[in-house]
Chains A and B, each alone.
Chain A
Amino acid sequence: MKKGPYPFLRKLYGKSETDMQKTLRGMGVKWVDVIDPYNVEESLEAIKNAYKSKYKGLKVIISDAECALEAGRKIKRIESDAISKNKRWIERKLGVDEDVCTGDHSCILYNGCPSLTVRNNPNPLKDDKIAWIDYSCIGCGLCSEIAHIARLCPSFYQVDRIINPSCYDRFMFNLRNFIIERLLIL
């Protein structure tokens, strides 16, 4: 399943007249694979396959997704348009739990995103900095994907905030909240 940072953008763009995969095949490239770079597990698998393959000729992997920054810019315009028309919209943000992060900074080793930064530890016993996703995050989700695939830590979480929720969304949310509030006391 090809997704990219915001999968629904593809539907808005429509189908392209040119197909890179077909073009390459037409040029005689026999080994072509298409990956979604935002699906790290799938991408790693494709690269491993390419290395392990006994095929001798040229091997091409097409990284088929839009730049998260560019997509983010488009999304902002679509978002403000949708919100002004009272349409249901999901705003996505990533975060790091300050209580769960141990401050080993291994997530930063595997991830060069400037939004993934460090901040002071709120625990007075710990004087090292912890990981932190600052406000410049555009919610592409790659940091959590990397932390998850590399089995780094469970600190990452994703918050989906629904703007202009439907009646069903609201009913289910209130029902869940009601039950969870009671379970929290136990």
Chain B
Amino acid sequence: MRILIPSVGGLGVGVFVEWLSAALIMEGLKPNVLNLPGVSQRTGRTLSYMEIGSDGTSFSPFPTKGNIDLIISHEFLELLRVLKEGYGGKGCNVIGTTYRYYTTYEKLSLKRDIYTYENFRDVIEKYSKDHIMADIYKLGISDFSNAHLLGLLCASGYMPFIRRETYERAMEAVRIDTERNLRDFNTGCELLGRIKRDSSPSVIDEISPCDTPDLYIKESIERLGLTYGKDIRDVLFEAVGQIIDYQDVKYARLYISRVYDLHSVLESNGTVRIGVIKEFARVLAIRMMYEDIIRVAEKKISRGRFERIRRLYRIQDRDVFWIKDFFGPDIDELYGILPNLLGKIFDRLLSRYRISWKTGMFTNHISGFLILKGISKLRFLRRHSLRYAKENSLIEMYIDHIRRCSAHTTDSALLAAKGGAIVRGYGDVRREMVQKWKEFSQLTNPHIMSLYLDKLFSEKRFESMG
């Protein structure tokens, strides 16, 4: 049997090969292993090749194309690379994860991923007999390790001559963080059933319906849903639910009335298109739920967050842990929550200074928790605050831009609706993005808008920020 293990440095392939070799030897087999390490520890390409025979004869020091029985991949891009290089084939099984290392440029870009499992599933299917790919985010395993992968390999049956207890004995023999790795191995063994069941869409795509008692909101959503279809209805329900959680029902009514108003404008212009309304409904909700210090404080002390952190770092009930949060709000973010008139006075006096309140706070200590709880209780001030007035005027500019564009072409209106999403971040980053969006909002020509938007969503938006 010939096994190829493509990966990148730092993912623990060396340890994985050690476990697998030890298990094979324990089963009375004689593996020949070739390791071609890349940049050790950090992201260089690594390649391991194993040949397993009962007599220990080495057939080839290097993998030969089209002559591989099993590819085990820790990194998705490397898997695609070996498949495209011709190492896969109709006799080759593939097991791996959809996890991948991103280049810094890819990470900076806001554009959608190109190299995803969804986009390349057909390539994997074409160059393999059978494949098992674990999506660690769908499975909810943030720290998918090589022990998980070994468990998955054990459950897959691709190497039926190694028994489960042999894998466990091999891991004990190699003696690397044995307790944790054995736990991960057992989790990995259970994963196969979950991966096979997982043909349904991602949890992320599920929309929870809003159970608001407000009749105006319900009727408006249903009416828009009848015009544009289920997609819009789902987005609106989700948005309304989140806005009520962010502020209150009154604020959600304002949101719905804004969507409805734009729908009327588009209808009168004859530029109605589902894409425009859907994008507008989505981006408007995000813009209306801007992240002020009240929102950040709320999120930092939410019960869901503590539970998520426990789950993420596998903190048991008996464990003791501290969460330290890092805050550095600018002075304008602090006085931004003051009532508009008072805030304006501070704004006039202080806006030219770059002052920020940098602090680290233990959120699950009583003092840190009480400070954040106190800030989160200031929600009643939000709609009278200086920050709200500023954000509201930006939102009005955003709506006006779409209206202006809709008078030209539907494409312009769609680009204008999309462009609003670029306003994001905190402090200096947000200021920079607002400035860039203001420049964009002067445009109505779809070709120029498209080019400008392409730049805004790529890593080039940071050019002026160094």
Contacts and interface: CB of A to CB of B under 8 A. Distances in A.
A3 interface: no
Given A109-B108, A126-B286, A104 B323 contact: no
Contacts of B324: 157-160
B320 A120 contact: no
B114 interface: no
A120 B465 CA distance: 25
A81 to B, nearest CB: 12
Contact of B204 (A69, A100, A124): A124
A180 B137 CA distance: 30
B323 A180 contact: no
A76 B178 CA distance: 13
B409 interface: no
B141 to A, nearest CB: 9
Given A154-B426, A176-B364, A184-B303, A161 B320 contact: yes
Interface stretch (B160-168, B378-386, B400-408, B427-435): B427-435
Given A105-B107, A156-B326, A183-B370, A161 B424 contact: no
Interface string A145-163: 0011101111011111111
A42 interface: no
Nearest to B143: A135
Given A117-B107, A161-B320, A135 B299 contact: no
Contacts of B329: 154
A37 to B, nearest CB: 17
Nearest to B425: A104
Contacts of B209: none
A161 B177 contact: no
A63 interface: no
Given A106-B425, A183-B369, A160 B322 contact: yes
B300 A162 contact: no
A124 B313 CA distance: 24
A117 B204 CA distance: 18
A108 B461 CA distance: 13
Which of the listed residues B242, B324, B365, B433 has the most CB atoms from chain A within 10 Å of its own CB?
Answer: B324
Contact of B102 (A117, A169, A179): A117
A161 B315 contact: yes
B102 A152 contact: no
B451 interface: no
Interface in A117-160: 117-129, 134-136, 144, 147-149, 151-154, 156-160
Interface string B16-59: 00000000000000000000000001110000000000000000
A151 B206 contact: no
B428 A69 contact: no
Of residues A99, A152, A158, which shows the largest number of chain B Cβ atoms within 10 Å of its Cβ?
A99
Contacts of A165: 319-320
B190 interface: no
A125 B291 contact: no
A157 B328 contact: no
A180 B307 CA distance: 13
Contacts of A176: 364-366
Contacts of B268: none
Given A112-B104, A128-B421, A157-B363, A135 B426 contact: no
Contacts of B445: none
Nearest to B207: A124
A95 interface: yes
Contacts of B427: 151-153
A22 to B, nearest CB: 33
B85 interface: no
Contact of B319 (A149, A151, A161): A161
Given A117-B102, A159-B313, A183-B370, A125 B282 contact: yes
A50 B28 CA distance: 65
Contact of B321 (A122, A160, A179): A160
Contacts of A127: 112, 282
Given A93-B313, A103-B110, A117-B101, A154 B286 contact: no
Nearest to A123: B242
A144 B373 contact: no
Contact of A69 (B41, B99, B112, B312): B41
A165 B321 CA distance: 9
A156 B427 CA distance: 15
Interface pairs A-B: 9 shortest CB-CB:
A135-B143, A104-B425, A165-B320, A102-B424, A173-B320, A99-B299, A162-B320, A158-B324, A153-B426
Interface of A: 69, 76, 80, 93, 95, 97-100, 102-106, 108-109, 112, 114, 116-129, 134-136, 144, 147-149, 151-154, 156-163, 165, 169-170, 173, 176-177, 179-180, 183-184, 186
27 contacts: A95-B309, A99-B299, A100-B291, A100-B296, A105-B107, A106-B462, A117-B102, A118-B102, A120-B204, A122-B203, A122-B204, A125-B282, A127-B282, A134-B99, A135-B142, A152-B427, A152-B429, A157-B309, A158-B326, A159-B321, A160-B322, A162-B321, A170-B320, A173-B321, A176-B365, A176-B366, A186-B373
